[in-house]
Every structure is written in C-alpha cells, then in structure tokens.
Structure 1
Amino acid sequence: MPEDLLQRRLVVVTGKGGVGKSTVAAALGVLAARSGRRAVVAEVGRRGDVLDTLLSPADRPAGGATTDDDDDDGFVERAVPVRGASGTLHHVSISPEAALREYLRDQLPIPAIADLLGSGKVFTGLTAATPGLRELLALGKVWELAQPVRRTPGAEPYDLCILDAPASGHAVSTLSAPVQFARTARVGPVARQGATIAATLGDPAQTAVVVVATAEELPVSEALELEDALGGRVGIHVALGVVNGVLPDRFSAADRDALAAGAPHDPAIAVADVHARRAHDQQRQLARFRRGFRRPVVTLPAATGRRLGPDDVDALADRLEQGLRRLRADGPGTTR
C-alpha cells in the first residue's frame, strides 16, 4: 500500500522526461527524513537535478558544482539539511564507470588488475560489446545502497534508498537489465549479481515504483504504458501514481464561456482564459489517468517559480504527505 511506501528498502521514481520526477524523488526523501528514516536519494548519470533542488544557494559548493567528477573512483554520499527532521537525508550521484571500479575492487584480489579492467578504454570496450552492462553496473550500486549491510568499507547502511531513475523508456531497459543478465549469463559472478539485484527489484516488500506524470495527453499515455511495462515485462511492483503540476480549476463551464468571449478585448481576461482552459484540460487528463492507472493516485500543485529550492520541496513534501494520508483514510481501492 502507498502508506507503506517509505518502509521499503528501495523506491524507484520514474516517468516521462520533464514531468518533475526528480522533484518528487526529492520530496519523498524529505518525507523519509521527517519520519525518522536515514535515507539517500540516488541519481544515475551524475545529473545533480535532485541536489540542486535540495540545497539552497548558500549550501551549494563553491563554483556551483553539485556533482562529483566523472573520473573520481568513489561516491560522495553528501548529507542534505532537512528542517525539523528526526532522520537524515543524503544524496549520491552514480556513474557506471565508478560503479565498475568499485565492483572490481570488491571482487578481485589484486587492486592493480581491478584498476586496469576499470580503466576508461577497457570500460568503453566492455559496454560497447555488452548491451545493458552500464545499466547493470549502475543498478548494482543502487542495490548496494539499499542493503542493510553494505559492501563499501566503512559505509553506514540506509533505511531507504530512493532512486531518481531515468525517463520512462530508458527506465524500463535499466530496470530489466538484471533479469536479462541473469538469464543470459546463467553462471558466474555477473549472473549471480544480476539474479540478486533482480530478486530485490521483484520483491514488493523491498522495492516499489512511483510513476510520475503531468496532466497532459502524452505524459499520461506514457505513464499508463510504463505501469504495464514495469508490472508485466520487468515484474516490479508499481505502488503509486503522482500527477505533478496540477493547476487549480476555479472556473465553471459558464465562466469559461464568458472568459473566451472577453479574451479578444482584454489582456487580463485573455490570461485568465488561458489558465481556465488549461486547468480544465488538465482535469480531463487527470480523470483519464485515474481511470487507466491501476494503483492509487495523488496530485501535486503547479510550482510558482521556474527554479525550485528547499522551501518548494518542503511544501511539495507537505502536499505529498497529505495525499498519502488521505489514501490511508479512504482505504484500499481508492484512486484519490
């Protein structure tokens, strides 16, 4: 159930690009820290989208860089301040190259051989010859972050790892990579690693997916297809749908007609007319999403600014918490 979402070890957040999935991942991280959990938000590809929203300008590193260098062998698990939280929130950015080097050092007894195999040229050759290897390596690090006992020397375990996954199509290929490798390799360390990760992803007690959309035709269609692909082809439990960026629908049908009639003559009315028509269309798409999505759905309001910061994420975390509480109060089967 969605109310148990933060009790999983791994929560995967995905959706069409541009729908605000990184913001939702950040809001979930804030909620987890508020509930007393030790949580980490992981981004694949060192994008830094989540960290940019969680850190105020004063908390950002000098020079504005919020991601680690691609040539760095390690992973910086950076603590992120959360106001009023009894738990803690961290952020880590993952590159497959660094994940390969860490994995090889864990598996091979001679560091020099691990460093050679993990070098840039060898990595490029391996990934070119082995489709899906980059995805498997990245997920291997995500899996490690979600374990109660971590293999990284000296690393403390987390109660929850929230993965800000790639956008829809790439997310399906990324999340299906462990199963594909386990089936293809069959024996050996890669097969064992793939089978272990696949077992964690396929266990609804450990892993859940949050599918994010906006109330527009294409994102809704993609989100509905994504639920089918993840639940069917990949076998991962989809727990919740989040419709982001919903405008308040303040106008009746008569109001919209009046606004449309006055729009050509008054700029202020024209602005209200655009808002009214867009909000009404969003409600139609939201209803379509709720009809087609088999799991509960919560909504988040449209943000007022172009660049979000910690205050915005805190406010969205409040709204997300309210939505989850309503689902709990309404009981099983609700979609609102």
Structure 2
Amino acid sequence: MQDAMTLAMSLAAAAHGPVTREEAAAEVLGELCARAPVVAATVVAFDPIVREHVPLCVTGYPTDVLDFLCSPAFLRDDVGYRLLVTRPERRARCWRDIDVDYTRTPSVIQVFQPAGYAGGATARLTTRDGRYTGDLHLSTTDPDLPTPPMMAALHHLAPLLASVTDVTRRISLLLDDLERDATAAVVSDQAVVVPLPDRDVPVPLDRDPDLVRRVTAWRGGPDAVAEARFLHRTGDRWHRVRLVKIAGGTLVVLRETPPPYGLTARELQVLTLLSAGLLNVAIAHRLGISERTAAHHVEHVLAKLGASSRTAAARGAVEEGLRLLP
C-alpha cells in the first residue's frame, strides 16, 4: 500500500503543476513511464459539448490503436470498459481485473495482441461530482503488469486527473467574480445542456425547452457578436441572460431579476423592437396594437430609461441587456 500511495503522490504532483491540460497529461505519462515498464500510454479528454474524445498526450500507441480506444467499439462494447461504467466505485481496471478471460475478447484478439501488447489498464476519469472527463490508457508487453500497487495508484489519481482534463472547468474561468452568484451552463449546438463545475444549472434551462431553443437559434443566427445580454421570462420570473459563444456551443449565465427600470412586459417588447430599428407603425403591426398605443408605449419607455431619443434608448437596451431574448 505504501508503494501505491508513493506512486499516486508522485503522479498527482506531476498532474498538479502544469498550466495546460496537455502539459499535465505529458507530465503524468512521463512520470508513469519512468516508474514502470509501460510501452504505450495516453490521456484522452472527453469534450461533452461537441461529444468527442481528444487525445491530450500519446506515447507509443500507433494511430489505429489510439482510434480504437476513442471509438464506440471500446468505449461501448469492450467488456472491461463497461465494468468501469457500471461499477464506478473501482476507477481503474487492468486485464486481470475482468470477470472473464480478457485475452479472449475482441479488443485483445483484434487490436491489442496484433499491436504487440500482452497487458494493460484503463482508468476512467470522473470528477468528484460525477462528471466523466476522459480516460487514461496504458499497455505493456508483460501480462503481469501493471502491478497491483500501480493499479491502486491509478485509482487514487483518477479524480485529480479528471479535474485536470475537465473541458468545462476552463469555460468556468470565463465567469468573473461579479457573477459568482449566477447559475450557468453550456448549451451545445445540438441543444444539449452541459453542466459546469461548481455551478448550478439554471433552472429555466431544465424546465423551459423554449429557452434552450432560443439560445441555439441565437448562436446560429445572423448576429456576428461573440457575446450578448438579454432578458427572458419563464413563467412569472424574469432573468438576465448572458450568452457567450464558445467552441461547439454557447455559455449561458442566468441571474433572476425584477424587470429593470420598472418596465412592463409590453414595454420591454416595445423596447426590443425599437432597438431593432422599427418605427411606431411597424411596432404596432408586430404587436397587434394601434400606432397611437405604440407611440404611448415608446414615450413611457424613453421616460423610464431617462433617454433623450429612440437612438439613446436603443443603445442603452443593447449595452445593459434590456432586450428580450429573440
């Protein structure tokens, strides 16, 4: 056990120092290969936004084996990997830890043995709050390797390495200290809500499919801006919504708020249309009201905002996030 803890601590130290995920993966594999006769190893990160596995560092594996380790043929069909998924209390397993003769499985017969491997292991990387972030794979030419102390070390290392490889943790850094009390998540381009570490998922994203649809539509719309702020109502509750375009999706930050400046729901509709450059007659047509009523609403909006003109009101609406989410 002492050997296992010593190795785990050295691997943890390797993972903790570097700044980037790629550097951390390289340091861990370097330490691992220096302490054991490992002939091939890789750390793979899972991106939950684009639903892809991305190798962060690879040593020894040919392309075909690496592709296999990132494919459904291994991640879904391999009997050993399925045990890591269905029995997560054991974070790492080697060929000897499988309930069947692993050397007779398709993974070994069709992939690992032809590549020259006689042993190996995988650690499934899952954060303390249960989010899957990737895998560490290693292969050996000795069926008695990895040793039990090394397997124990990989078990202890897995949560720390999961945090290091976590794609969403980097996204959380986009949130400044002023938004510590806000809820946040990512909506992928496929309209999947992806949680972020240390953040509650905004309740409206769970309960309001229309909000998810609107976020996805905004990202795919003609607006070229990388970030925008809006208002959105779910039921009788209003929220300030901050949208930030990121690779593969949109960062969504929500904070509950009363209607700003005492604006009514109708006045916010008018302000949104006014900000889009619509004149009173067009606003009236869009909302199904008379032009005179639209003009009264515009007057009230300008007065509540303290704006001297429609242009000033439109500028303030964009800058302060007073428009309704389209």
Fold-level match, TM-score > 0.5?
no
TM-score range, shorter chain: under 0.3
Larger RCO (alpha carbons 8 Å, 6+ apart):
1
Relative to the length of structure 2, the TM-score reads 0.23
Indicate the structure with greater helix content.
Answer: 1
Relative to the length of structure 1, the TM-score reads 0.22
Indicate the structure with greater strand content.
Answer: 2
